[in-house]
Amino acid sequence: MLKVVTGFLVGMAIAALLIYKLAAGMMFREVPSQFGMEETVARIQQNVLHAGNGWSLSGLRNAAKPIEMSGGNVLPVMMIEACSTNYSAPILKDDSLRFLSNLMPCKISVYKKSDGKTYIGLMNAELIGGLFGSKVGDIMAKVAADQAKFIQFDASQPAPAMIKNAPAASGGSGAAADGGC
Amino acid sequence: MRAPQFMMPSQFKFVLPLLAAIALLAASTAQAANAKLEQIIAPAPHSTADHSKFKELNREFKNGPEVTKACLTCHTEAAKQVQHTKHWTWESTDPKTGKVRGKKNIINNYCTSPVSNENDCMACHAGYGWKDDKFDFKAEQNVDCLICHDQTGTYRKLPGFAGHPVYKRVEFPHGSGKFVEAVNLKKVAQSIGMPTRSNCGSCHFFGAGGNGAKHGDLDSSLQHPGKYLDVHMDEKGLNFYCTTCHATSHHEVSGSRYDTAAAVKGPAHIRGKQDASPASCQSCHSNKPHHEAMLNQHTDKLACQTCHIPEYARNQIGTESSWDWSLATQMGPDGKPMAYKDSAGRRAFDSKKGKWEWDSYVMPEYRWYNGYSDYKVIGDKIDPSKTVHINEVGGSPNDPDSRIWPVKVHRGKQPYDKVNNYLTVQHTAGEDHTALWHNYDWQKAIAAGMKAAKLPYSGEFGFVDTAMTWPITHMVAPKGDALSCAQCHSKNGRLKDIEGVYMPARDSNRWLDLIGWTLVVLTLFGVLMHGVLRLYASKKKG
């Protein structure tokens, strides 16, 4: 009996350790981009605009800017904020799920790292959504499918212009009716 | 109710007033020191002369040379001084070979050469009227005082006017529907003062025809920079102007990429002492500026800029990383000239000029550099099977005057004479039938350019890969943002390609490593054996 309990506890400990080590990597994804910062941002923005399913741009924020304003330097980080009312409305209508507004709008970050290359950072919407029951899980699975399309680029197409003045670009989400969630 | 009283032993009664006095003294000393520092570094807000009160300047001027004549009535030697500088001659003599270099004589991989394009390029010449090889370099009234001394911000020189500002309202660019107003020379002449960042920047921020295009560490963001961008120029802090470091004597501006002080040694500059390199970091900071001795040991091998400018073009203006002339004359699908911009709104393609690539927040490349650059000049032979280096920076690990420097390398593809094997000069700007930007005909443009350069042209041209190296020295980050140790001391760190120095964590010695690991294994074996023997001995006893 002691052996069974010990084995169970050891198994639990190993599982906990694995979850601890792997969970962070599973919840977020990092994908290298073949383009520079601005072009990556612009191509994602275009993909969002053409994605359908109610998607629109709700902001573009430079997370490095406040650090620059306080006199420091970090490599650039651009946060593209996008929102689909098709997906946000059912969640925001449900009182028991309104706290998930914290995850809105959907954010995709584009940043440069010390190797000089550009990367795209995404949340694993499907996995995280699955933690909150089937309703949220189903919606977030659709969000994840659309997100995957946002970062598929057609290099044969010319570089579009970066949309700097996306609705609420200066302050993030919410300021403009057609862009906010 | 009485307030509680604190009793103090009589022998300590003098302590509080003394402390207060010390604090006051320290505060006033610090304030005085700060005021003194500001006095040294900030440009004088007011000149001792109000130029609006000078009768020589209190009249209307028809053109720039008239203003210069008025300036010279008081500043009698100024034009002669300017005429000895690179800002005037666009020439520089190689101290090793005697070769005459300078903008006039090299073919770079941006706009290539001003020869035959003077009417446009001389918008950045400190003079009036240089439109061909007949320009009079000795005429004093041809010196443009205003481009460096205007304080109104209204004095602009446009391409196409041979270094003159516009005296009549003109549409610029032609056909754009945008207009540039005629300059008010009287107002500008009466405003003059010491050069500000905007004066220097009017050319140096916009070299190669675009904001930030050429240098990478100089662009319009330095007109009003924050601390993050340049700790010295920070508008709300030290507020250095270009001339604070590029100290000027007899109109000769110190600090030039043609003759860089790459490895200055010794203490900081002392007032009253002749400073050979006032534009160097060491001039103020000495070559041992750190509190930590370990960091100071690095200054024998590293330029200050290597650690303190971790990236250049640190804004979305960015800098041009390549210019491909081979795609110039390529038309749009409708057969007409086309132009388009990149995602950040920077020029990306133009049928007149070819294709550009840009980058921002750029990690520099690194080179050994001793301040000397060997430039290719017009007519120098090239090997078209290899990348042609427009300039090769001198220096090596064994040269005591060399340091590891950060550089921008601008790549290009530009025309060369396939028979004579030299880079070609092409007539690009202008409205005549041989100008590339007018007729899109390479043959005519090269023939006209080579004729102006007085070089034979075989009639056969091709395109060759070129590279140009620019030492990086501006956009100095706050000290907290300097490179960390691990950014260089690692296998794939910043200096992974630098040869000639042993860098711990980057480099390893096979034998040293073998001996080290053998000792580790033997030690572990010894500990293990000792444990086993003790276990065995205790069991035997028990």
Per-residue model confidence as pLDDT tens digits over A112-158? 999 999 999 999 998 888 889 899 999 999 999 999 999 999 999 99
- Write out pLDDT tens, residues B333-382: 999 999 999 999 999 999 999 999 999 999 999 999 999 999 999 999 99
Residues of B443-468 as b/e, b for ≥16 C-beta within 10 angstroms? ebbbbbbbbbbebebeeebebbbbbb
Q: B478 and A72: CB-CB below 8 Å?
A: yes
Task: Determine the Cα–Cα distance for residues A159 and B435; give it in Å rounded to an integer.
Answer: 30
pLDDT band at residue A38 under the 50/70/90 scheme: very high
pLDDT band at residue B21 under the 50/70/90 scheme: low
Q: B228 and A72: CB-CB below 8 Å?
A: yes
Which region among A21-35, B162-176, B238-252, B376-390 has the lowest average model confidence (pLDDT)?
A: A21-35
Helix (H, G, I), strand (E, B) or coil at B339: strand
Residue of A nearest to B359 (CA): A36
ipTM here: 0.82
Q: A162 and B480: CB-CB below 8 Å?
A: no
Residues of A in contact with B340 (CB under 8 A): 158
Is-contact A61 A107, C-beta < 8 A? no
Q: Which of B168, B391, B161, B399 is nearest to B301 (CA)?
A: B399
The reply to whether B94 touches chain A by the CB within 8 Å rule is: no
pLDDT band at residue A37 under the 50/70/90 scheme: very high
Q: Is residue B109 over pLDDT 90?
A: yes
Give strand ranges (E) for B362-484. Answer: 365-369, 373-375, 388-389, 391-393, 403-417, 422-423, 461-471
Residues of A in contact with B228 (CB under 8 A): 67-73
> Which pLDDT does position A77 carry in this prediction?
96
High-pLDDT (> 70) share of chain A, %: 91
Question: Which residues of B, range 271-310, sit inside 8 Å of A by Cβ?
Answer: 310
User: Looking up tokens 């601005």, which residue turns up?
Assistant: A38
Is-contact B202 B193, C-beta < 8 A? no
Residues of A with CB under 8 A from a CB of B: 36-39, 41-43, 67-73, 75-76, 112, 114-116, 158-162
Nearest to A159 among B316, B343, B362 (CB): B343
pLDDT band at residue B44 under the 50/70/90 scheme: very low
Task: Determine the Cα–Cα distance for residues A21 and A15; give it in Å rounded to an integer.
Answer: 10
High-pLDDT (> 70) share of chain B, %: 91
Helix (H, G, I), strand (E, B) or coil at B356: strand
> Which pLDDT does position B226 carry in this prediction?
96
Is-contact B340 B310, C-beta < 8 A? no
> Which pLDDT does position B256 carry in this prediction?
86
Question: Which residues of B, range 189-248, sit inside 8 Å of A by Cβ?
Answer: 226-229, 234
**Could you give all domains of chain A from N- to C-terminal order, each with its CATH number?**
28-150 (3.30.310.70)
Most confidently predicted of A19-33, B28-42, B68-82, B271-285: B68-82
- Write out pLDDT tens, residues B294-322: 999 999 999 999 999 999 999 989 999 99
State chain B's mean pLDDT as an integer: 91
Residue of A nearest to B493 (CA): A115
- Write out pLDDT tens, residues B439-497: 999 999 999 999 999 999 999 999 999 999 999 999 999 999 999 999 999 999 999 99
The reply to whether B314 touches chain A by the CB within 8 Å rule is: yes
> Which of A141-145's residues contact partners 24+ apart within 8 Å by CB, and which partners?
A142/A53, A142/A87, A143/A84, A143/A87, A143/A106
> Which pLDDT does position B20 carry in this prediction?
53
Report the pLDDT averaged over residues A77-101: 94
* Phi, psi dihedrals of residue B203, rounded to the nearest 5°: -105, -50
Is-contact B406 B309, C-beta < 8 A? yes
Residues of A in contact with B358 (CB under 8 A): 36
Which region among A134-148, B255-269, B281-295 has the lowest average model confidence (pLDDT)?
A: B255-269
The reply to whether B342 touches chain A by the CB within 8 Å rule is: yes
Q: Is residue B505 over pLDDT 60?
A: yes
Report the pLDDT averaged over residues B417-434: 96
> Which pLDDT does position B175 carry in this prediction?
87
Task: Determine the Cα–Cα distance for residues A131 and A124; give it in Å rounded to an integer.
Answer: 12
Nearest to B226 among A37, A71, A115 (CB): A71
Report the pLDDT averaged over residues B261-281: 80
Residues of B in contact with A112 (CB under 8 A): 361
The reply to whether B479 touches chain A by the CB within 8 Å rule is: no
Tally C-beta pairs within 8 A across A and B.
62
